[in-house]
Structure 1
Amino acid sequence: MPSLEDQSSVKHDEVRERSTKSEDDFQGLFHQVYEWLHHEKSRRQNRKARKFETTSHATTGDESDVTDGPLDRPNTSDHSFSLDKLEKILHQYATTRPGSALSSTHRHLAKRHSRRRLRGLRRGSVSESDMTDTEAPPPEVQAFLDNTKTLAYTGGGAVEEITDSSASVKQAKDAEAWLIFKTEIVRIVHTLQLKGWRKVPAELAGDIEVVRLSGALTNAVYVVEPPKNLPPPKTDSNTLVSRKPPPKLLLRIYGPQVDHLIDRENELQILRRLGKKNIGPRILGTFLNGRFEEYFEARPLTPKELRMPETAKQVAKRMRELHDGVALLEEEREGGPMIFKNWDKWVDRCEQVMTWLDKELESPHNEAKAALEPWRRRGYVCGVKWDVFRKAVENYRRWLIASSGGIDEIKRQLVFAHNDTQYGNLLRMEPATQSPLLLPANEHKQLVVIDFEYSSANTPGLEFANHFTEWCYNYHDEERSWACNNRIYPTPEEQYHFVSTYLTHQPANAGGHISPMASPVIRGRTSTAFAPLDLDDGSDRPDSRLSQIDQSRDDDLDAHVRALIQQTRMWRAMNSAQWVAWGIVQAKVPGMEEGIAEMLAARNGSNDDGEGDGDKTPTATSGVEEEDEGDFDYLAYAQDRVMFFWGDLLSMNLIKAEDLPAPLVEHVKSRLVEY
């Protein structure tokens, strides 16, 4: 007969065996449910993606189908929410179950299914945009959003019933245009399934707030806000639904004239790279002529703020973080400065526009038309005939490359630059109390840089030149929004403080490394950024050595600052030439497109529109004669900016005064910036 101790041991083994069997059975059941859960989610995801791709292919042939056809699909958000809830329950139980092998097992399964799910996402996916990996492209929809009737800065509020019978027909049409515009916005965000916006039913589209922001010259930018009194979602008692309102969205609609200026696909790729570094706003979804972005509770800087010493320091620090934080791709560095590429890409269109404009200025009917067209009264856009300006740019470019140590040395100095740091592209975050952004070390991070349309590889000097020149502009001036006020260009002291702040700031994400431009070449002379120190001075006093070390470091920093200021001075004329071309390319003048078409047809020996003409440059939209008076004057901008170019060439002795018209030289000298 077994002893009591033996009996106890047998019973313990039996209990442990039953417990192990129970645990094995539970693990088997858990794995089955977990596998089914992710299989079901993957199956539904793939089905939605296939349906969306089919719909997209079906609508690409007819734009009317794209703009007028239904974008929204049957709402499966309740089913998706139930699956997500089940997954959370399984995860929570597995991680808290004591003594279970499920904790490690479920993490392995989750990781495996996560990889599978991310591989399944592809362009055009309609999954929630906040669920995608940072490397995956944002969801997109083949739809066109027409904002041609909603470019005013008012009119996008909640729809109010018009009771005044005397309301003008124009007001009624304006209200109808905004209602149509907002309805299309809701349809697109439903299609993209932007986070939280499925709570806004289509019938409440008129109640969303849409406000156009000012400051963007190549886009129309809006803030989209959900209805103030959004009804609670309809759910059963067992379903948990967040009552948090949908987030505000930034809506960006591309300008109709800028496809030949900006490569939108390349821009989106750059924005995805920046997203990995948490730089700039996150792209939530795209459509044919625009995109939705993350909205920041912030405001753009003002022209006055840009010149404030403390703000200037913060901009310099953010600029250093961008340059050091985003590595250039090999092809970007090998491609050389983007400013050269931009000029080469835009110059043929400039040639067409300026050839026609110059001929018009020399034509017999110019004086008669000048009364109604101010550009005719101002004379040559480039101050001289186009061929003289183009030749001057080409000669200056050759000098710039040679004086910088050659194209290979320029490539070595390149950094990832923003290239458009005007005040409207710098937002000031307005944090709540107790925010980390209020700490002294983080104050510069209150600045958020947006609009990376022109971001690319350029030299630091080019970036500084562009930013310093933007100190001279106020794009909100009611009478002269295009004008450059050379008198408020940064003084030598202001430039020195900006560049020294840039150089001494050590971004945390760069590990304290200096930018690739550490040894700029100025007129063939290399300036070493941080030269080795000779501490063997024969002195035995430690304080004397430290003093000499500090002095040597100060001298090295001073030399580096002055070298970059000189580099800025050298590249400033190229920056001006680029923006002159930018203004010319976007110019809209009555009769210009027709005149260019006739000129090209005559040159190619054909009177048929387009036949024999290999030119594929996009033309302006019709109706340019009906421009609003408040439209930006691109030709006036180009003509005013070219004075900066000629001033730099004259002050650097790259052109002789006698080679330019006397009135032009007199005008340039009155506005000359010699530093």
Structure 2
Amino acid sequence: MPSALSSQSSVKPDASTIDDAQSTKGEEDPQVNLLHQVSEWLQHEKARRQNRKARRAEAASGTKVAARESEESPVDEAPHCSESTFSLDKLEKILLQYSGARPGDGLASLQSMKRATRRRPKGLRRGSASESDYTDVDAPVPSVEAFLDNSKTLAYTGGTAEEENAGSSASSKRSKDQEAWLTFKTEIVRLAHTMQLRGWRKVSMEEAGDIKVIRLSGALTNAVYVVEPPRHPPAPPKTDNGSGPVVSRKPPPKLLLRIYGSQVDHLIDREKELQILRRLGRKNIGPRVLGTFLNGRFEEFFEARPLTPRELRIPETARQIAKRMRELHDGIELLEEEREDGPMIFINWDRWVDRCEQVTTWLDKELESPQNEIKAATEPWRRRGFVCGVPWEMFRKAVDNYRIWLIASCGGMNEIKRQLVFAHNDTQYGNLLRMEPASQSPLLLPANEHKQLVVIDFEYSSANTPGLEFANHFTEWCYNYHDEEFPWACNNRLYPTPEEQHRFVATYLTHRPAVPGGPTSPLATPSMRGGRSTTAITPLNLDEGPDGPGYQQLETSAEEELESQVRNLMHQTRLWRVMNSAQWVAWGIVQAKIPGMGEAEVAAASGKGSLEDVKHDSNGNREQKTPTVDSDVDEEETFDYLAYAQDRAMFFWSDLLALGLVKAEQLPAPMVEHLRARAVDY
């Protein structure tokens, strides 16, 4: 699904290894903090005991000399004082032994250890890999009750500094554009100040026009911008004698600004999305959310580049994606309610289907209206016929019947729930970034090379089956959302072959990430949860060589078990591919902005009443309002959502034909011909 194709870009390839002390200020290891507190108490208690001994000895002898003698002689001390001193000494030894400090260092070593742990160990930049032990506590994310208006800044140019436009004979429209961009930039800086985003207090409101704001191409669910600080920040303050700067003037970090699309509030539950992002943040997966506002958020910007459609097909890259997918599935535990609710793809369909019915029913009636032929000259969708290939009622019934068949084929809903994993659900090439580390980075080690891949855009992430995740990813091999002529088209010939699927799934199943903390680490995968069983291992006779019958039998058994698991997951992928297509057909219909489609007419066409009525999901416990279609937004439409939906519907019908769930005579003859020409039988 084309949600965000270029959400990040590469500028400095070695930035992934930069360790920023400011970003980790206040972060400590709880165990070291405890050691520090106990050591402080121990020092205080030993000092009190020492003073008490001195006073007791001085009172007994009347002289300081006697006090020193009593201090050196345990016979003159009270028995309980001697035992307490011995206990304190023993406690000190235990603390030093537990902390790993040298005995000669004393308690001072515990103090230095506390200070040292305030800085995150150097190495992988936060978020550059899925595995980290350094962030286990939710950090508060600032939130502002503000709305950031980007309706006049939806073009992909115009975000450069004002000085770049100086001296140009700008037209009246250009002047208005510059004014709109300046207002937009000013509000961005104001929000950054209010949220106290790290480093951005250095950028004054007067410098707002000098920041660089560039909208990234291809982001279809949201408008995504890169926000860069001024190129020439003000000179740092001087010392009293004017000899030089007091501190270095480090520029603020770049930001990723995401403004939610006007058509997707009913597609995505933003509060749930933020909760998921917080869970991912505890594992350092994906970019951090730095701050939120009413219609968007600021995120950490990765110095990386998105993959290209061609790269998905490179065997080594495909293996790396499979490993990352396995780490995500096993690294994030599903909540009990997520597993109980069942696959998110069913929930999405149930949530979107009413809106789809309203829109598609209106479109179908328009195709049959007398004025359709006249309007078709300026509205391409009218020339292509039914959006779903057939009238809406037939498409919806086909989805309902297929869903019943799918659940039965997978062993029932309880078995499906058992197989669920935390899935990304949108692993298209633009949501996979490759870090470009410096030559000394640990990301370049062979064992870590797959960790150069960073997954972003978790808007559709939740519980789904591995088969659905594979089906979604494999289908994305067929798309190039940057194609100049047909960015919406699905090229079925590019779907991975059985051999390519086998290699991907086998890599996924056999990946065992080396995670700090051993097999109990959350991201370790010593076993496959959710119904995925590992290969049974029989005891190995160490006296036998590698050519012995026991060793060969074990190896053969493991290979056969692995092959069985691969074949099973490939079969599951085939079954779930139809539901995946149905979901994105609905997504394209809901996203579409159609000229002349009034909300009242849409509601009347479907007989569902006003779109402002409260909606409930399939469980009856969720309500929301469907926003009105904004046909007045001044934006050049670069992606044909209805064409995308119709093309995806062809994939849906092709699979139903291949599975025998629909007969050729039930479909229009020209459509059947088209489907057979582009069928993917594997």
TM-score by length of 2: 0.76
Cα deviation, residue 146, structure 1:
1.1
Q: Are the aligned partners of 1:421 and 1:466 in contact in 2 as well (CA < 8 Å)?
A: yes
> Helix, strand or coil for the counterpart of 2:548?
helix
Whether 1:656 and 2:656 are equivalent positions in the alignment is no
Letter in 1 for 2:526: H
Whether 1:559 and 2:564 are equivalent positions in the alignment is yes
Whether 1:214 and 2:217 are equivalent positions in the alignment is yes
User: Corresponding residue for 2:629?
Assistant: 620
Letter in 1 for 2:321: V
Q: Are the aligned partners of 1:282 and 1:294 in contact in 2 as well (CA < 8 Å)?
A: yes
Q: Are the aligned partners of 1:361 and 1:380 in contact in 2 as well (CA < 8 Å)?
A: yes
Larger RCO: Structure 1 or Structure 2 (Cα < 8 Å, ≥ 6 residues apart)?
A: 2
> Helix, strand or coil for the counterpart of 1:351?
helix
User: Corresponding residue for 1:637?
Assistant: 644
Give me the whole-angstrom Cα distance separating, in 2, the residues matched to 1:483 and 1:405. Answer: 34
> CA 1:441/1:534 → structure 2, altered by over 3 Å: closer, same or farther?
closer
Give me the whole-angstrom Cα distance separating, in 2, the residues matched to 1:452 and 1:229. Answer: 35
User: Corresponding residue for 1:187?
Assistant: 190
Q: Are the aligned partners of 2:599 and 2:628 in contact in 1 as well (CA < 8 Å)?
A: no
Whether 1:362 and 2:368 are equivalent positions in the alignment is yes
User: Corresponding residue for 1:428?
Assistant: 434
Cα deviation, residue 144, structure 1:
1.0
Letter in 2 for 1:515: M
Whether 1:548 and 2:553 are equivalent positions in the alignment is yes
> CA 1:466/1:561 → structure 2, altered by over 3 Å: closer, same or farther?
same
> CA 1:165/1:223 → structure 2, altered by over 3 Å: closer, same or farther?
closer
Whether 1:496 and 2:552 are equivalent positions in the alignment is no
- More deviation in 595-604 or 646-655? 595-604
Q: Are the aligned partners of 1:183 and 1:202 in contact in 2 as well (CA < 8 Å)?
A: yes
Residue of 408, 416, 419 corresponding to 1:410: 416
Residue of 399, 408, 416 corresponding to 2:405: 399
Give me the whole-angstrom Cα distance separating, in 1, the residues matched to 2:152 and 2:357. Answer: 32
> CA 1:489/1:404 → structure 2, altered by over 3 Å: closer, same or farther?
same
Cα deviation, residue 229, structure 1:
1.2
> CA 1:291/1:235 → structure 2, altered by over 3 Å: closer, same or farther?
farther
- The one-character-per-residue Cα deviations of 1:487-541 (angstroms, maximum 9, x if unpaired) are 100000000000000001012343332332444xxxxxxxx652465989xx999
User: Corresponding residue for 1:21?
Assistant: none
Give me the whole-angstrom Cα distance separating, in 2, the residues matched to 1:502 and 1:99. Answer: 48
Cα deviation, residue 210, structure 1:
1.2
Cα deviation, residue 627, structure 1:
4.8
| 1:118-137 paired onto structure 2 within 5 Å | 134-137=137-140
> CA 1:332/1:163 → structure 2, altered by over 3 Å: closer, same or farther?
closer
Residue of 1, 6, 9 corresponding to 2:65: 9
Give me the whole-angstrom Cα distance separating, in 2, the residues matched to 1:15 and 1:294. Answer: 61
Give me the whole-angstrom Cα distance separating, in 2, the residues matched to 1:611 and 1:485. Answer: 39
> Helix, strand or coil for the counterpart of 1:223?
strand
User: Corresponding residue for 2:511?
Assistant: 505
Cα deviation, residue 236, structure 1:
6.9
Letter in 1 for 2:328: L
Cα deviation, residue 597, structure 1:
5.0
User: Corresponding residue for 1:300?
Assistant: 306
> CA 1:583/1:436 → structure 2, altered by over 3 Å: closer, same or farther?
same
Give me the whole-angstrom Cα distance separating, in 1, the residues matched to 2:108 and 2:534. Answer: 57
User: Corresponding residue for 2:387?
Assistant: 381
Whether 1:229 and 2:232 are equivalent positions in the alignment is yes
User: Corresponding residue for 1:514?
Assistant: 527
Q: Are the aligned partners of 1:584 and 1:635 in contact in 2 as well (CA < 8 Å)?
A: yes
Identity %: 68
Cα deviation, residue 663, structure 1:
1.2
> CA 1:436/1:163 → structure 2, altered by over 3 Å: closer, same or farther?
closer
> CA 1:105/1:223 → structure 2, altered by over 3 Å: closer, same or farther?
closer
Cα deviation, residue 172, structure 1:
1.7
Q: Are the aligned partners of 2:506 and 2:566 in contact in 1 as well (CA < 8 Å)?
A: yes
Residue of 334, 355, 363 corresponding to 1:349: 355
> CA 1:645/1:230 → structure 2, altered by over 3 Å: closer, same or farther?
same
User: Corresponding residue for 1:670?
Assistant: 677
> Helix, strand or coil for the counterpart of 2:144?
coil
Cα deviation, residue 631, structure 1:
2.4
- The one-character-per-residue Cα deviations of 1:362-392 (angstroms, maximum 9, x if unpaired) are 1111111111110000000001000000000
> CA 1:612/1:269 → structure 2, altered by over 3 Å: closer, same or farther?
closer
> CA 1:165/1:545 → structure 2, altered by over 3 Å: closer, same or farther?
closer
User: Corresponding residue for 1:175?
Assistant: 178
Give me the whole-angstrom Cα distance separating, in 2, the residues matched to 1:549 and 1:153. Answer: 59
Whether 1:453 and 2:459 are equivalent positions in the alignment is yes
Cα deviation, residue 14, structure 1:
12
Cα deviation, residue 307, structure 1:
1.2
- The one-character-per-residue Cα deviations of 1:166-209 (angstroms, maximum 9, x if unpaired) are 32222222222111111111110000001111111111111111
Question: Structure 1: which 5+ runs fail to align?
Answer: 17-94, 112-130, 520-527
Letter in 2 for 1:325: G
Q: Are the aligned partners of 1:400 and 1:570 in contact in 2 as well (CA < 8 Å)?
A: yes
Give me the whole-angstrom Cα distance separating, in 2, the residues matched to 1:613 and 1:672. Answer: 37
> Helix, strand or coil for the counterpart of 1:286?
strand
Letter in 2 for 1:288: L
Letter in 2 for 1:514: S
> CA 1:267/1:603 → structure 2, altered by over 3 Å: closer, same or farther?
closer
- The one-character-per-residue Cα deviations of 1:280-311 (angstroms, maximum 9, x if unpaired) are 00111111111111111101111111111111
Cα deviation, residue 215, structure 1:
2.6
Give me the whole-angstrom Cα distance separating, in 2, the residues matched to 1:546 and 1:460. Answer: 32
User: Corresponding residue for 2:492?
Assistant: 486
Give me the whole-angstrom Cα distance separating, in 2, the residues matched to 1:323 and 1:132. Answer: 19
User: Corresponding residue for 2:152?
Assistant: 149
What's the RMSD between the two structures over aligned residues? 3.4
Give me the whole-angstrom Cα distance separating, in 1, the residues matched to 2:254 and 2:114. Answer: 37
> Helix, strand or coil for the counterpart of 1:620?
coil
Give me the whole-angstrom Cα distance separating, in 2, the residues matched to 1:541 and 1:162. Answer: 73
Give me the whole-angstrom Cα distance separating, in 1, the residues matched to 2:655 and 2:236. Answer: 63
Letter in 2 for 1:199: K
> Helix, strand or coil for the counterpart of 1:211?
strand
Give me the whole-angstrom Cα distance separating, in 1, the residues matched to 2:67 and 2:642. Answer: 95
Give me the whole-angstrom Cα distance separating, in 2, the residues matched to 1:593 and 1:570. Answer: 38
| 1:240-319 paired onto structure 2 within 5 Å | 241=247, 243-319=249-325
User: Corresponding residue for 2:593?
Assistant: 588
Letter in 1 for 2:414: D
- The one-character-per-residue Cα deviations of 1:75-119 (angstroms, maximum 9, x if unpaired) are xxxxxxxxxxxxxxxxxxxx9xx999899799999x9xxxxxxxx
The list of structure 1 runs, each at least 4 consecutive aligned residues, that deviate by more than 6 angstroms after superposition, is 5-8, 13-16, 98-109, 539-542, 600-603, 609-615
Q: Are the aligned partners of 1:132 and 1:138 in contact in 2 as well (CA < 8 Å)?
A: no
- The one-character-per-residue Cα deviations of 1:325-368 (angstroms, maximum 9, x if unpaired) are 00000000011000000000000000100111111011111111
Letter in 2 for 1:566: H
Give me the whole-angstrom Cα distance separating, in 1, the residues matched to 2:201 and 2:608. Answer: 56
Give me the whole-angstrom Cα distance separating, in 2, the residues matched to 1:132 and 1:313. Answer: 28
> CA 1:172/1:15 → structure 2, altered by over 3 Å: closer, same or farther?
farther
Give me the whole-angstrom Cα distance separating, in 1, the residues matched to 2:240 and 2:560. Answer: 72
Q: Are the aligned partners of 1:460 and 1:517 in contact in 2 as well (CA < 8 Å)?
A: no
> CA 1:568/1:295 → structure 2, altered by over 3 Å: closer, same or farther?
same
> Helix, strand or coil for the counterpart of 1:224?
strand
TM-score by length of 1: 0.77
> Helix, strand or coil for the counterpart of 2:163?
coil
Letter in 2 for 1:409: E
> CA 1:160/1:647 → structure 2, altered by over 3 Å: closer, same or farther?
same
